Structure 1
Amino acid sequence: MCNEVSRKLDLDLLILGLQQAGIELGFPEGRPNIEPVASVRITDPSVIVRSVRGQAEIVTRRWSWPGQNGKPVYNYRSEGRDFRNSRSQGRCLVPVDGFYEFTAPADPSAKRKDKWLFRWKDAPWFAIAGLWKRDEAAIPADSRHEAFTLLTCEPGPDIAPYHRRQVALLPPDRWAGWLDGSIPAPEAIGPTPAGTLAVERAG
C-alpha cells in the first residue's frame, strides 16, 4: 500500500490549478507554509483540500489516524462505499507531485526493496482522493485531532505490474464534484487509464 508521497508543491501553482478546476479556496487557518519535500510518510503533516459548509479550504493535517488495532489508517479501501461530508468527516483532495510503490528487489542480494516513483505525465501535480476525519472523543475537538487517509481502488495498467492496489487518482474535471459530493464515489474512483502515469526508479 502507498505509505510515501512526494510533495514538491508551489502554493500559487496549486491555487491556480484548483481555480482552473472551478474551486475557489478559503484559508481558515491562513495560507499554509508548504515546504517542498520529496518524501512525506505516514504520520507526517501534509496539505489537503476539503469542503466545509460549502466552502473549499486548504489546511494541513496529519496523514493517518489510529485504527482499532492501534495501527495507523493511512490507506482505505473505496469499494462499496460512498463517502459523504459531515461535521466530523468528509471527502478531501490530497495534492502531490508523485507517489511511491515498492517491489521485491531485482537483485537478490539487495537488502532493500526496489522503489518506484509515479507521476502524472502531463501535469506538475495531481490529486489523490482522500477522506479526512475528526476524533470526536477528543477534548477539545479541534484541528489537532483531525487526520486524513488516502483512498485506494483496483490498479490501472500503469500500476498493476508494481502493486495489486493503487491510490485513487482524480483528474481535474472530477475535483469539484468530489469535494462537494455531487459525484458518487463509485463514479469518481476507479483504475487510472493506461498511459496516465510515468514511472521511474527512485533511489
Structure 2
Amino acid sequence: MCGRYALTLPHDAMAQAFAAKPANDLPDIPNYNVCPTVQVPVVVAGRRLVSMRWGFLPHWYDTPTDGPLIINARAETIAEKPAFRAAVRERRCLVPATGFYEWTKGSDGARLPWYFHPVEVEMLVFAGIWQDWGADRVPTCAIVSCAAGPTMAEIHHREPVTLDPADWGLWLGEEGTGAAPLMRAAPEGRIARYRVAPTVNSNRATGPELIDPLIED
C-alpha cells in the first residue's frame, strides 16, 4: 500500500521527464510528507501534468466524508469494484514520487518508519486511477497497490504498483489495451529501503530531514 510519500522533483523536471504540459495550479514542491487528501501532481492521458486530490471519491459520495477514505485501489479487484472499474478502463494516471514510507512495529508497539526509494533513478512512478467528483468536478485519484515483492514483504504485505518509463504510455492508454499485466510488484533491485526517524509519524512534519537515514545509538 502507500499511505505517505515524498516528492521533491521540481515541476519543470517532472514535465520534462513525462514530456507533459504542466498546469498552472500544481501543488508546492518539495513535499517530504505527502498525506492523503492533499493536492498532488499526476500525469493524465494527453501528457498533461495536473493537480488532483489524493483520495478517490466515488460518484455516489454526497460529501468527501460519506464513506471510507480511498487512497489505494487493490490491483486484484480493481476491475470488478464498482468504485474503480470505469476508472481503471478509462482514466488511468501516473503519480510521481521521490519515495514512500511504510511502518513496522517495535517490541514496545512503537511505529517504526521506513523510507523506500528508487535505485539509480530520481523518481518512482506509481500507477494511479482518477475521476472527477461532484458538481464542481473535483479531480480525485488513488494509487494502485499489489501484493508485496521481495524488497517490501518483510515490512508490509502490500506495495504501490510502480511503472517503468517504457510502460507509461500503455498505462495511460496511449498505446492500446492490455495494461493489466503492469499491476505487479516491483522487480528486485528497483527499490531500496532504510529506517528514518519517527518524526515522520506526524502528518504535520515537514522538511528534508524526514528522509535522512536514521542513525541509532
Question: Normalising TM by the smaller chain, what interval?
Answer: 0.7 to 0.9
Q: Tell me the TM-score normalized by structure 2.
A: 0.77
Gap regions ≥5 residues in structure 2? 80-84, 198-217
RMSD: 1.9
Q: 1:81-114, CA deviations, whole angstroms, 9 ceiling, x for partnerless residues? A: 27222xxxx1000000001111112xx23x5311
Aligned with 2:122 (options 121, 124, 132): 124
1 CA distance for matches of 2:170 and 2:152? 25
The AA in structure 2 aligned to 1:178 is: W
Q: How do residues 9-48 of structure 1 correspond to structure 2 at under 5 angstroms?
A: 9-19=9-19, 25-27=20-22, 29-30=23-24, 32=26, 34-48=28-42
Q: Does the aligned pair in 2 maintain the 1:79–1:186 contact within 8 Å?
A: no
Secondary structure, aligned partner of 2:34: strand
Q: Distance in 1 between matches of 2:3 and 2:27?
A: 22
Assess if the C-alpha contact under 8 Å between 1:4 and 1:40 holds in 2. yes
Matches within 5 A, 1:169-188: 169-180=162-173, 182-188=176-182
Q: Distance in 1 between matches of 2:146 and 2:43?
A: 20
Q: Which residue identity lines up with residue 16 of structure 2 in the other structure?
A: L
Residue 33 of structure 1 deviates from its aligned partner by 5.2
Q: Which residue of 1 aligns with 2:89?
A: 84
Partner SS state of residue 131, structure 2 = strand
Paired amino acid for 1:100: Y
Structure number with higher helix proportion: 2
The CA deviation at 1:31 is 6.6
- Partner residue in 2 for 1:114: 112
Aligned to 1:65: 56
Aligned residue pair count: 182
Unaligned runs of 5+ in 1: 20-24
TM-score (norm 1): 0.82
2:200 alignment counterpart: none
* Higher strand proportion (structure 1 or 2): 1
**CA offsets 1:33-73 (integer angstroms, 9 cap, x no match):** 5420110011111100001xxx2211111100346662210
**Structure 2: how far apart are the matches of 1:41 and 1:140?**
23
Say if 1:173 and 1:155 are closer, same or farther in 2 by CA, change over 3 A.
Answer: same
- Alpha carbons 1:47, 1:94 under 8 Å: kept: yes
Structure 1's consecutive aligned runs of 4 or more residues displaced over 4 angstroms after TM superposition are 66-69
Answer with 96-105 or 111-120: which moved more. 111-120
Identity, % of aligned pairs? 26
Q: Which of 128, 136, 148 in structure 2 is aligned with 1:140?
A: 136
1:201 counterpart residue number? 195
